[in-house]
């Protein structure tokens, strides 16, 4: 990767780890909504398909 002038490699690494941690934390907090989202999508698809009742 090209080195950009004025950038500290260690600070970039720390920022990358921090950002990855935030993403993991947000995914962890969103996990309980998974089954509800799947149920909602299934209900919506069942309502769209004609003749399925």
Give every residue of the chain whose pLDDT is below 50, as ranges.
Answer: none
Number of Cα atoms under 13 Å in the Cβ half of residue 31: 6
Question: Where are the domains positioned within the chain?
Answer: 9-48
Encoded tokens for 11: 């600070």
Q: Report percent pLDDT > 70 for the chain.
A: 85
pLDDT given at position 31: 94
């Amino acid at each position: 990767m090209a080195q950009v002038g004025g950038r500290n490699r260690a600070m970039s690494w720390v920022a990358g780890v921090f950002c990855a941690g935030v993403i993991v934390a947000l995914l962890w907090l969103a996990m309980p909504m998974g089954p509800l989202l799947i149920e909602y999508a299934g209900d919506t698809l069942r309502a769209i398909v004609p003749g399925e009742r």
